[in-house]
Amino acid sequence: MQLSVIIVNYNVKYFLEQCLLSVHKAIAGIQAEVFVVDNASADGSRSYLEPRFSNTRFIWNSENIGFGKACNQALQLASGDYILFLNPDTIVPEDCFTACISFLEQRANAGALGIRMLDGSGNFLPESKRSFPSPLTSFYKLSGLSFLFPKSKTFGRYHLGYLNEQQNHEIDVLAGAFMFIKKEVLDKIGGFDENFFMYGEDVDLSYRIQQAAYKNYYFSERSILHFKGESTKKSSVNYVRMFYVAMSRFVQKHYSTSKAGLFSALINAAIWMRAFLSIIKRFIQRIGLPVLDALLIFLSFWLAKYVWVHYVRPETVYINELLLVSFTGFTLLFLTVSYYTGLYEKYFRAKNLWRSTIISMLIILAAYSLLPERFRFSRGIVLTGSVFSYFILNVWRWLLLKTEVLQKAADEADHFSIVAGTQQDLHTINQILKDAGKQQVVQGFVSPFNEEHSLGTINDISKLLQNTPVKELILCESRALPFAQIISLYEQTGKEIKLRLHAATSTSIIGSDSKNEAGEVLNSQTYQLARAVNQRIKRLIDVGIAATLLLLFPVHFIFNQHPIKLLSHCLQVLLAQKTWIGYSAEHVGLPQIKPSVLGPAGVPHRQTQLNAEGLLLADEWYAREYKPAYDLQTILTSYKKLGIS
């Protein structure tokens, strides 16, 4: 056996699917085996992947035992002359493994190699080549000097920025995403140190390879895609803590006491500094954004009042107490509308801000007109305050986008996409998008050959990008467009547009626009219930129905056979302990919702006559095809059943 490929999976089944498709293309013609060790994924990886890859050996762990320990599990079973530890969010070219083997065979002192890696936008990943951590190297990185002077031999040593990425080099550290190692080396030094749960184990293993008189190499003659951000969230406080603690453990294990002490001090400073910045970012993203928005909206109305009093109607006297109450109400109304129009979704859309402003302004003006005369002060201030709010929030969002606290999303309606592939690929992609509930339609395709009805050939992509408003390119792997060519296209075009990948026989489209955030997946099993906007509307329907039923409670003694239990259900729904309509059973892989009063068909759980398989199909249909109107209709038509347990 020439090669054993070992992949550890944790909740990234669609990325792993396409990774495995590329791996099996790359092992064609050589004796190889592929292991996947799953660390208790909760996304249905087993039921999805095992039937599709009978030529892969799966190990299913009942708990997350960490990266290093999972790799060692497969390593004990591996029989290849070479071992490749590979991340599940990678794509390799067809001739990758044969080129790596050839490179190592030509160097008697070589123990292992890492490879040139590109992210989901085609950018070179600097961690493809690194030096061992030291107090000074870490200080240069943490202080930002390595960022300011990436090519410096002194300040840029962490990522070895002064070494040409297009040339092969002897380096210190191999990235854990792709570690190609001779089996005889691992037999001598052992596998991963299992004291490293996650992060740092690649540094430790690289160090032990060198200590055993072998050399580590950076191999630039082939490139792979590493989407990044998939198995972990790089911007989280937990990531910062785990990463730097792992680095500290490495230094204490291998360096002198004095150097380890200095390094630990820097590590602790880094943890606190990065954690502080990460907490601020998370606060703004999750809680602080609406709070800060509220402050800005409130100030916008006071600014409108100031302008109106000093420049428009200086002779008018306004009651500040009345304005204070009114502006507070306007602000809360503005925030409520913004929430339900999607302004606080993960990705910022300019149309959501415009839409929330218009709707809020209309509602505020309508409410204002219904107030008694003595409570009215000036429609002009209301209108001006709304306009000021819009412009101030626009500037605020611009700052957040510039500092990458928020990310901008391309609006589907304006999304000009093309496919790199055949006309059949175009039909496949449009079907996946349709099944995923996307409004987006791909406008055309560029063919690997001069196919009829195509926009041109693959070689014309650069011209198309220059002369059309293309914002997204979906690259479809096939015999005519292999992974190697796709990776090359990523590097050529990724800095200009969004890139997505669809491998032949897969059911998904994957991509990642940031190395620090989880990537995106579109597939025929995309659940509408997982969409944030549907979750919000579902909760709004739950609360609205519960509140209405409580107000009408005396009526239920006449029309409902279980009024007391109905009251109990109303209170549970209001307290977010239950939802009116939901799953009939607990399921791994479906969007999480609260336990439900009724099943998807409006039937109480104890009255259902479906077997376990039927319940699963019904629940999957509900999650996949969910529409808020269905919940509302089912609740209204199942009124008499709402009090049944």
pLDDT score of 431: 86
Read off the pLDDT band of 242 (50, 70, 90): low
Q: Where are the alpha helices (DSSP H) in 552-611?
A: 553-559, 563-574
> What confidence tens digit (pLDDT) does each residue in 523-547 have?
766 678 877 778 888 999 999 999 9
**pLDDT over threshold 60, residue 16:** yes
pLDDT score of 244: 63
> What confidence tens digit (pLDDT) does each residue in 271-286 have?
666 667 667 766 666 6
**pLDDT over threshold 80, residue 267:** no
- This prediction has a pTM of 0.71
Task: Answer for the pair 552, 43: CB distance below 8 angstroms, yes or no.
Answer: no
Cα–Cα distance, 635 to 645 (Å, whole number): 15
Report the percent of the chain where pLDDT is more than 90: 36
Interval 606-635 mean pLDDT: 83
Interval 301-322 mean pLDDT: 85
Beta-carbon contacts of residue 611 (< 8 Å; ≥ 6 apart): none
Picking from 552, 540, 614, 550, the residue whose alpha carbon sits closest to that of residue 579 is 540
What is the amino acid identity at position 582? G
Q: How many CB atoms lie within 10 A of CB 452?
A: 6
> What confidence tens digit (pLDDT) does each residue in 431-440 have?
888 777 676 6
> What confidence tens digit (pLDDT) does each residue in 329-371 have?
889 988 888 888 878 877 788 888 888 888 888 888 888 887 7
Of the listed ranges 72-76, 245-249, 373-377, 393-397, the one predicted with least confidence: 245-249
Task: Answer for the pair 639, 597: CB distance below 8 angstroms, yes or no.
Answer: no
Strand 178-182, strand 417-420: pairing: unpaired
Query: CB-based burial of residue 609 (10 Å sphere; 0-12 exposed, 13-18 middle, 19+ buried)?
Result: exposed
Report the percent of the chain where pLDDT is more than 70: 85
pLDDT score of 235: 47
**pLDDT over threshold 90, residue 444:** no
Q: Which residues of 87-116 are buried (b: 16+ CB within 10 A; e: fewer)?
A: bbbbbbbbbbbbebbebbeeeeebbbbbbb
Cα–Cα distance, 437 to 412 (Å, whole number): 11
DSSP SS3 for 197: coil
Which element (helix H / strand E) includes 211?
Answer: helix 201-211
Structure tokens at 262: 């200095």
* Between residues 139 and 27, the one the model is more confident about: 27
Cα–Cα distance, 174 to 150 (Å, whole number): 19
Cα–Cα distance, 216 to 180 (Å, whole number): 10
